[in-house]
Structure 1
Amino acid sequence: MNYESPKWGRGALDVEVIDDGAAVRRRRRNLILGVAIVVVAIIVAMVVLGVGKKSSKTAQAAAAAAQSGGKTGPAPRVTVIVPGRQAIAKTISATGTIAARRDMPVGIAGEGGMVVKVMVEPGQWVGAGQELAVIERSVQSQQAQQQGAQIEVARADARLAQANLDRAQALVSRGFISKADLDTKRATRDAANARVRLAQAQLGETRARIGRLSVRAPAAGLVLARNVEAGQVVSSGSGPLFRIAQGGQMEVQAKLSDSDLVNVRPGLPATVNPTGTPIEIAGAVWQVSPLVDANSRQGIARVSVPYQAALRPGGFATVTLTAGSANVPLLPQSAVLSDDKGSFVYIVGPDNRVQRHPVTIGQVGDRGVSVIEGLSGVERVVVSAGAFLNVNDKIIPVRDATPR
């Protein structure tokens, strides 16, 4: 019997055709995909491990930075000083007004009149009794001449009375003149002599008035002001015509707080610096005010200084008083810092960490800043790097060997 099998038949060849190349390609894709997945997994694992290590290192660095005050790297080298204690002169500074120590106003002592001549200018030195100005005196001069003539008349009368008395005394013994007439002539003689003395006194008064028309210096000194000119009519109510500094002596009236005034006494040395000049003049306190102004709480210490051209009454000057000394730490100005909380310094503790320390400063001078409270002198104080440091910063202190 003849038949066709579906597997080997003609039609079977059209139903199932096996392609070996496609299967190979599919297996290759699967293999590549698997390798890629493994590679990606490895990369992800490596990334995760790397981030973990980095985070650990970052955490360690942050902890170290926190311990070192937020700074990394080696501790900085910072210069420090142990100030000790030194004898520092205690000074008091103040400002004051320059004035004459003895300011003498000179005016008219008499009835006055018209000024005919002024003899001096401000800034001129004069002697005691020197004529400063002359007032017109023609009327007084005529009065003096009249009184001089009256003296002569009175003297003539006195001489005549004396002659009459002498003749009468010679005739008494002969009985020609009674004793009563003699007494009358004696009284006439005495009255004539009295009129002479009266005329002389009147002339002396007139001459004294004439003398008071010359304005004279009551003492030697420096003319500070001239308030009169020739042709001006002056009288005793015209006020001072001149002002004279007796002996040219000057003073500075320094204003001090009541707390400073208690440390000031007469004889205390002082240095005066007139404002606007580099001059420093040595002086001394000669008087301390017994009163303190109730409003300003200030008193006045009067500092005597010798005359110099830079001392002009009415100007200002700075006064530095030396009131003893004190043993206190002395620091460079760069070591003392300040903020809204006050003055402070940085000191280095036993662990070489920086600590803030408040201080109270005293006087500031060329030698440095004295610390009157806050330091004992044995601390290690940061000299000049304070602006770059923070509290608890760890440093390497380097001792300043500069002699101070």
Structure 2
Amino acid sequence: MSAAHAQAGPPGPPAVGVFEAVKRPITETNEFLGRIEAPNRVNVVARVTAFLEKRNFVEGSEVKAGDLLYQLERGPFEADLASKKAQVAQLQATLVNAKLTTDRAKSLLGGPAGQQSSVDAAVANQQSLEAQVQAAQAQVDLSQINLDYTEIHSPIDGRIGRTAVTEGNVVTPSSGTLTTIVSQDPMYVTFPVPVREALDLRDRYATRGGFKAVVIRVRLTNGRLYNQVGELNFVNNTITQNTDTISLRGTIPNPSTYTSVAAGGAVRELTDNEFVTVLLEGVQPVEVLAIPRSAVLSDQQGEYVYVVGADNKAEQKRIQLGQSTSTIAAVTSGIALGDKVVVEGLQKVRPGEVVAPGPASALIQSSMKVSADGGASSTPKSTGNNP
């Protein structure tokens, strides 16, 4: 054996990087699966039977309330209206003569030629004609309504879908939906929440302002976070039995991102019935006892960390985690403020053995600082059922 090997002593304690548990602000966040819904949806139908003469919209474009969508054949309805107006004019002329007859009968009533029966008959005839005029005028109004129905206008602002009928075909009230219009801005975000978690959310935010204590963010199916923030405004009054969830709903802006002639006008991020991931975030960040996420290990019994004591011995401590981020683990129990938690060199640590602690690397330190400065959004605590 060489002299060098003979003089070598036992290896020293393993070097590890430690980080002291500190208070850090994080944003409480719960993640659910949800869908985008248009607040207003209109199925456009015909109110009269007529030939479709013209379609006045581009399929897939945005329309305004009052825009003319379909023009139906007007001729038969105009002729019917003119006929009804003529009947009213005829009855009104007859009524004028009846009033003269009534006045004449009343003037003769005081003389020898006057008879009460003549007055009564004249009054009855006049009242009958007045009723006939009212009925005929009602028919004029009905004909005018039917004539107006030959122009089908949009009742709301929104994006219009494809047409179900083309020019030249006959449409009737029983033809079904001609096209559908859905409103665009703002949009609803609906998502089911498990009842157990809904109770936790209620306990957490009820005293902090209720609906105003949270905001809604949306992650699109491509993983990109939508750049608008919504607000919660509705909790359903019943629980879905087969899933044991309760539906929540929020409103989120859906402004135009740009205008495209090919796309039929404004282009918007959110589409009715779109599948999204909903992030329900607390408005005010909360302070938690925080350690680097990389310090947390787990086994069948749960999560644990190694803490370096005053004698530099590593001690295994079981912990409970709250909502955490990709870089910060929020610890609710198991360690105390200022505990030195092993972050680096974990593979060399054994419970009860002496280690050589040193400050964690600059990368770990900076990640904790950046998360703290940015208010750190928490990772999802749970996920609701797919709607």
Q: What TM-score does the superposition give when structure 2 sets the normalisation length?
A: 0.74
1:317 aligns with one of 265, 269, 276: 276
1:301 alignment partner AA? L
- Residues 82-141 of structure 1: CA distance to partner in whole angstroms, max 9, x if unpaired? 1133343322112211111x23323337344443333334341412x4443333344333
1:290 alignment partner AA? N
Question: Is contact 1:254-1:319 (8 Å) kept?
Answer: yes
Q: Confirm or deny that 1:201 pairs with 2:138.
A: yes
Question: Is contact 1:273-1:279 (8 Å) kept?
Answer: yes
With 354-363 and 168-177 compared, the bigger mean Cα shift is at: 168-177
Q: Distance in 2 between matches of 1:387 and 1:116?
A: 79
1:299 aligns with one of 246, 270, 279: 246
Deviation at 1:269, TM superposition (A): 1.9
Residue identity (%): 23
1:275 aligns with one of 210, 213, 221: 221
Q: Distance in 2 between matches of 1:327 and 1:170?
A: 98
Question: Is contact 1:118-1:229 (8 Å) kept?
Answer: no
Q: Distance in 2 between matches of 1:145 and 1:134?
A: 20
Q: Distance in 2 between matches of 1:358 and 1:93?
A: 26
Alignment of 1:83-162 (within 5 A): 83-100=21-38, 102-108=39-45, 110-120=47-57, 121-127=59-65, 129-162=66-99
Deviation at 1:171, TM superposition (A): 4.7
2:325 aligns with one of 345, 365, 372: 365
SS state at 2:12 partner: coil
1:132 alignment partner AA? L
SS state at 2:229 partner: strand
Change (3 A) 1:168 1:225: same
Question: Is contact 1:285-1:304 (8 Å) kept?
Answer: yes
Q: Distance in 2 between matches of 1:178 and 1:294?
A: 81
Question: Is contact 2:44-2:181 (8 Å) kept?
Answer: no
Deviation at 1:222, TM superposition (A): 1.3
SS state at 1:363 partner: coil
Partner of residue 19, structure 1: none
1:266 alignment partner AA? F
Partner of residue 309, structure 2: 349
Change (3 A) 1:270 1:184: same
Deviation at 1:329, TM superposition (A): 1.7
With 298-307 and 342-351 compared, the bigger mean Cα shift is at: 342-351
Change (3 A) 1:291 1:376: farther
Question: Is contact 2:22-2:291 (8 Å) kept?
Answer: no
The count of corresponding residues between Structure 1 and Structure 2 is 336
Q: Distance in 2 between matches of 1:238 and 1:395?
A: 82
SS state at 2:13 partner: coil
RMSD of aligned residue pairs (Cα, Å): 3.2
- Bigger relative contact order, structure 1 or 2, given CA contacts below 8 A and separation 6+? 2
Alignment of 1:25-40 (within 5 A): none
Change (3 A) 1:288 1:171: closer
- Residues 8-39 of structure 1: CA distance to partner in whole angstroms, max 9, x if unpaired? xxxxxxxxxxxxxxxxxxxxxxxxxxxxxxxx
Q: Distance in 1 between matches of 2:332 and 2:171?
A: 61
Partner of residue 236, structure 2: 289
With 300-309 and 230-239 compared, the bigger mean Cα shift is at: 230-239
- Residues 169-216 of structure 1: CA distance to partner in whole angstroms, max 9, x if unpaired? 455555344332233233333333322222111111122233344433
Change (3 A) 1:176 1:189: same
- Residues 32-53 of structure 1: CA distance to partner in whole angstroms, max 9, x if unpaired? xxxxxxxxxxxxxxxxxx9xxx
Q: Confirm or deny that 1:374 pairs with 2:347.
A: no
Q: Distance in 2 between matches of 1:313 and 1:390?
A: 55
1:398 aligns with one of 346, 355, 358: 358
What residue ranges of structure 2 are gaps of 5+ in the alignment?
Answer: 203-209, 256-267, 370-387
Question: Is contact 2:14-2:348 (8 Å) kept?
Answer: no
> Going by fraction, where is helix more abundant, 1 or 2?
1
